[in-house]
Amino acid sequence: MPKSPLAEFFEFANDLGFESVELRNDLAGKEILDGLPDDTVRNLLNVTGIKPLTINALYPFEDARALDANLAKLKGLIAEAKRINCLRIVLCPLNEPGDPRSPGQRADQLVTALNAFGPLFAEAKMIGLIEPLGFSVSALRTKKEALAGISQCDYPGSYRLLHDTFHHYLGEETDFFPAETALVHVSGVLPGKPRSAIADSDRVLVTGDDILDNRGQVATLLKSGYTGPFSYEPFSEEVQSLSVATLKIDLQNSIQYLFS
């Protein structure tokens, strides 16, 4: 619901019985909290009972060329998060063609970035959620690589994994890390495109036609001990253009299918 006012978004989530929502900082023409004053935002949270789960996202978080800019951005995101008692910020890697860095340089710069951000997260008592992107041009494609960076940095307690079912599929990753995972993103993709041609715009609500095996991924995580939240992330304009009434029905049907 990228075009909806914050109040409408919170009410929508509350009507469906959701506990939390993610807030984005990349919606064109919109501020994270719609430019609302603190007392208005607090009232919205109190009335709906909704809790902000994350601010999504700092990008490209691991590129050393953007380190100074990212430190400034992260400070701003942390300040916004504190206003609403949000304890997690999503971190997404560079996802563009032409990245000149070698795999070794990428791994080194990942650790450098985690060390630079660690004190900010530690002081704020917040967690950075690292979301590997499975696209072929992504600088960080797998959760295994992300965990290697976390293990080598000086602030491992400040970071957890974000498992995205879409990127798990695109990255052809078979490993699951339920104990290290703090959030799961779900979205479906319909048949018709080869794996290499699938884009964010193909991400829809999960249905029985889904090719990503969301049900299997979710079942594996739950059976392996994952107890954290699940968050829908369908970027398709087809989904985002649905009426609120239709979206509610489709989303409820998707949830029932996904967890049945």
Section 62-79 average pLDDT: 97
The average pLDDT across 130-154 equals 98
pLDDT at 68: 98
Phi, psi at 58, each rounded to 5°: -90, 120
Three-class DSSP category at 88: strand
Give me the mean pLDDT over the 32-52 stretch. 95
Query: What DSSP designation does 65 have?
Result: G
**Domains and their CATH numbers in the chain:** 52-259 (3.20.20.150)
The reported pTM is 0.97
Q: Are 129 and 162 in contact (CB under 8 A)?
A: yes
Phi-psi region of 37 (alpha: psi -120 to 50; beta: other; left: phi over 0): beta
Question: What tens digit of pLDDT does each residue of 225-260 get?
Answer: 999 999 999 999 999 999 999 999 999 999 999 998
* Mean pLDDT value across the chain: 97
